[in-house]
Structure 1
Amino acid sequence: MTATDAQPQTQRVRRRARTGPQTAARPGRGAAGATGSARAAAVRDAVALVLLPAVLLPLAAASFAGGGTRRWFGGRSESARADALAAKDAAAAAFYELDTAQRDLRISIETITAVDSSPGARRTAEQFAALGQRIDEASHTYITAVDAHDLERDDLDAGDAARARAELGRAKDDLVRVKGELDRFSQSLTPLLDKAETQLARLAPAVERARQALLGASNALDAVRAAGLRADDLAARLAALAPELTRLNQGAGQHGVPETLARAEQVQRDAEAVRAEAAALPQRAAEIDRRLVSLRTRAQALTTRAGKVDPVLSELRRRFTAACWQDLQGVPAQAAQSVRLAEQRLKEAGQAREEQRWPDATSLISTARALLNDTDEAVSAAGDRLQRLNAVAKDPQAEIQRTRFAIRDAQRLAMAGRNTPDPRHARPLDDAVARLDRAVADLEGRHPDYWHFLTETEAVRATVTRVVSAIREERGAAAG
């Protein structure tokens, strides 16, 4: 008989076993029990004699007197029966404990595999399946032993009882051995089971937080709409989360615990983002209104300032060489064009604001600001150029001394703690001195190019700054 063939028997015996051992204490057995049985048999035989036809009475009497075949039990047979019944009860108890432990462990395995899809979890499931086969084999041995011996029959002799006790004892030992394997395997599952239970404990709160976040986002959108703002893009983003909520409601049994946890956390983040943007939308609308007003005012001011560039250029052309102002010739036209373009973008931004296309309005405002910034720099460059050229034409020594001081300061730093400077530092500083001398010499002509002089001194100071930074970095690294 295979384990599959024994399944109905297994269920029958398991139902009997789960009620607990029933035959461990059988009152009336032993020597007194044997006497009672003999008396009952004698009564039954006497009744039969009364009912026999008269013609059979001599034969019946002879049979009762000693010619019959019925066995009469003594203490040895009843003692063997009691031992066999005790072995049966012990085996039943072992079977019950193994069955209970297996069912409990199956729940743990299902918990682990539902949460964890790692190779370790898969190996655990395979090991449990292999252990289940050994459990089935031990259970089949036990069931076969139980079904092979009817310990309740009256004609059970001592030899049959002894064989039953031996087979049931071996079956119990197999059950106990497999139960030990099951217990050891269960103990090895503790880390995986703890991890799985932790994730399961996180699951319900995570799903609930996701639901609450969606509810909060929906309420925030309702409040925004009540204030007269449509927030269509936010509504579309919230609607896109509806299928995810459906999957969350379907549960981890269908989609898996890790996937459901990840989905719940993502839904919570997305819904929180929608809620936060919806809550900030009235303030965002007010900020866009403020920036539109501010940039329109700035555009008007730049139009006025751009009109003053022509007189500045006229003075530059009259007093300085062409190299000092030629690059500024296109500033007035460029400024006027940039201001007109910025005003057009602001008009488009205002239209987007009226239509509540918030991303478009924000983008157009940023474009307008960039145009106005460029115009501001170009308009300011003409006035700054005239101011700087006037200052250097009046007193070039201030610029010269400022540059020479920067060079000397760098040279002192390069010589600090050294007898001779590092060539990597000395060479660029020497080149800077020579470059400054050439720029100063160029001022001695009839029409000096003051703008070239200023750009040269700026370049010299930039070189000196790089050398000083390199020296300090090297010394800082050495000290560290």
Structure 2
Amino acid sequence: MTATPSQPYRPSVPYAHRPAVRDTLALLALPLLAAPVLAAAFAGGGTRRWFGGRSENQRAQAQAAKDAAAAAFYELDTAQRDLRISIETIMAVDDTPAARRAVSDFEALGRRIDEASHRYIDAVDAHDLDRDDLEASVAAQARTQLARAKDELTDVKRELDRFGEGLGPLLGKAETQLARLAPAVERARQGLLAASNALDAVRETGLKADDLAARLAALAPELTKLNQGAGQHGVPQTVERAERVAREAAAVRAEAERLPERAAEIDHRLVSLRTRAQALTTRAGQVEPVLSELRRRFVAACWQDLQHVPDQAGENVRLAEQKLKEAQAARDDQRWPDATALLSTVRALLNTTDESVSAARDRLQRLNAVQKDPQQEIDRTRFAIRDGQRLAMTGRTTPDPRHARPLDEAVARLERAIGSLEGRHPDYWHFLTETDAVRQSVGRVVAQIREERGGGH
């Protein structure tokens, strides 16, 4: 018997059939191994003369020892064949150090099995127990050698059994991988077919989908490797490849199915952004009159940062219109990624323009309001400060300096802002930015207090 797997594992044979394979191998091997033993056991059985006495008793004992050794030999052979199938399964799936060590240990056990088997065969060949003139001393010697051979075969079988029990984790992992193999490959093939069908359906609507077709074509070499089988490329690698192909094919299919909707969405965005650009062109033209009023009624500090708005707005709108033309051309050529990217650029330009144009009008409205009644802004800010002070004193006789200090600074800063309104030409914009900053400072203190008290609970 040999311990080295004679043939590599073939994933095309379902692993569920392993018991049938094992039984077949055992049955095929039985006549080869049993032939010399059975021939020796039964040769001349009908013609031998039987003598009574001590000689025949020793012959019978030797024959019993021979039968017991033969049974041990067959049990060891069957166990080794069973274990070889497990080792081949592990080899087909696992290339870790633990798996390689298991194969090496199995080979070492195989050498021990070969040695014990040879000694058993030598003991059988050394004595013809059917000889008519078999002496009692020779029969006794044969019994002793055969019993020793049987014990050695039994010991090796015990070692083999212990080794087989230790293969459980590796074998379980290998069986799990093999169980995943066929379904994974089938999912990959079905996924590729579904993606191809989805592309065909899209093309029938007049959409080209060239980029998706290129991605699908790139999977062809992977399909070839899947068709070549795990025997050539390895089980783990084939499972991984099948899962990757299935994912990529599913992505192509999903994008293909969504392509008509995507084309309609791009068409809608083109119309919407074009309309918005036209509206902003009109609004940008209204910024200059707003700036004129700001210059006439308020000091320079209230409007200097808005001087660039008309020119910048006009430039942004012109650039957005140019990008819209490029996006339309990309859509006509069905370059969907390019069209989408260009539309995103247009949207960003129009958003920036909208904010700057709105800023000028909002500035005028806020300055008009504070010029007419600054007290409303003052009261709003003082209320925020008092609210923060009450919260800081809740449950305390004296405030925490970490809270009191910024609140006191907020009071002083508000008073300075109020003082800046005195004079002939007050800077209302400075006043508004200061009150905004005071409220933000108080808001941070309030948030800090609530976070600390919430954490204390």
What is the TM-score normalised by the length of structure 2?
0.89
Structure 2 residue corresponding to 1:213, chosen from 191, 195, 211: 191
Q: Greater CA radius of gyration, 1 or 2?
A: 1
Which residue identity is paired with 2:157?
A: K
* Cα distance between partner residues in 2 of 1:432 and 1:371: 38
- Could you say which structure has the greater relative contact order, defined with CA pairs below 8 angstroms and 6 or more residues apart? 2
Structure 2 counterparts to residues 34-183 of structure 1, below 5 A: 34=49, 75-183=53-161
Q: Say whether 1:292 aligns with 2:270.
A: yes
* Cα distance between partner residues in 2 of 1:223 and 1:153: 86
* Cα distance between partner residues in 1 of 2:328 and 2:187: 39
* Cα distance between partner residues in 1 of 2:354 and 2:257: 36
Q: Say whether 1:394 aligns with 2:411.
A: no
* Cα distance between partner residues in 2 of 1:237 and 1:81: 80
1:235-294 CA-to-partner distances (Å, cap 9, x unmatched) read 111112122222222222222222222222111111111111111111111100000000
2:300 corresponds in structure 1 to: 322
1:82-138 CA-to-partner distances (Å, cap 9, x unmatched) read 433332222222111111110110110111232222332222222212211111110
Structure 2 counterparts to residues 424-443 of structure 1, below 5 A: 424-443=402-421
Q: Cα distance 1:244–1:250, how it changes in 2: closer, same or farther (>3 A)?
A: same
Q: Cα distance 1:398–1:28, how it changes in 2: closer, same or farther (>3 A)?
A: closer
Structure 2 residue corresponding to 1:459, chosen from 423, 437, 450: 437
Which residue identity is paired with 1:307?
A: G
Query: Identity percentage over the alignment?
Result: 74
The runs of 5 or more residues in structure 1 that have no matched partner are 5-10, 36-72
What's the offset of the Cα at 1:391?
0.6
Which residue identity is paired with 1:17?
A: A
1:476 corresponds in structure 2 to: 454
What's the offset of the Cα at 1:33?
5.6
Moved over 6 A (4+): 11-14, 22-29
Asked if the contact 1:34–1:78 (Cα under 8 Å) also holds between the matched residues in 2, the reply is: no
Structure 2 counterparts to residues 337-376 of structure 1, below 5 A: 337-376=315-354
Residue correspondences, number: 432
* Cα distance between partner residues in 1 of 2:381 and 2:115: 99
Q: Cα distance 1:146–1:344, how it changes in 2: closer, same or farther (>3 A)?
A: same
Asked if the contact 1:77–1:158 (Cα under 8 Å) also holds between the matched residues in 2, the reply is: yes
* Cα distance between partner residues in 1 of 2:135 and 2:452: 105
Structure 2 residue corresponding to 1:248, chosen from 203, 226, 230: 226
Higher mean Cα deviation, 304-313 or 154-163?
A: 154-163
Q: Cα distance 1:318–1:12, how it changes in 2: closer, same or farther (>3 A)?
A: closer
Which residue identity is paired with 2:370?
A: V
Structure 1 residue corresponding to 2:34, chosen from 1, 17, 29: 17
What's the offset of the Cα at 1:78?
4.1
What's the offset of the Cα at 1:24?
6.6
1:205-260 CA-to-partner distances (Å, cap 9, x unmatched) read 11111111111111111111111111111111111212222222222222222222
The runs of 5 or more residues in structure 2 that have no matched partner are 4-27
* Cα distance between partner residues in 2 of 1:425 and 1:14: 96
What's the offset of the Cα at 1:147?
1.8
Asked if the contact 1:21–1:93 (Cα under 8 Å) also holds between the matched residues in 2, the reply is: no
Asked if the contact 2:93–2:174 (Cα under 8 Å) also holds between the matched residues in 1, the reply is: yes
* Cα distance between partner residues in 2 of 1:15 and 1:28: 21
Partner secondary structure for residue 49 of structure 2: helix
Asked if the contact 1:18–1:96 (Cα under 8 Å) also holds between the matched residues in 2, the reply is: no
* Cα distance between partner residues in 1 of 2:302 and 2:35: 107
Q: Cα distance 1:237–1:100, how it changes in 2: closer, same or farther (>3 A)?
A: same
Which residue identity is paired with 1:265?
A: E
Partner secondary structure for residue 419 of structure 1: coil
Which residue identity is paired with 2:119?
A: T
Q: Cα distance 1:168–1:451, how it changes in 2: closer, same or farther (>3 A)?
A: same
2:311 corresponds in structure 1 to: 333
What's the offset of the Cα at 1:19?
9.9
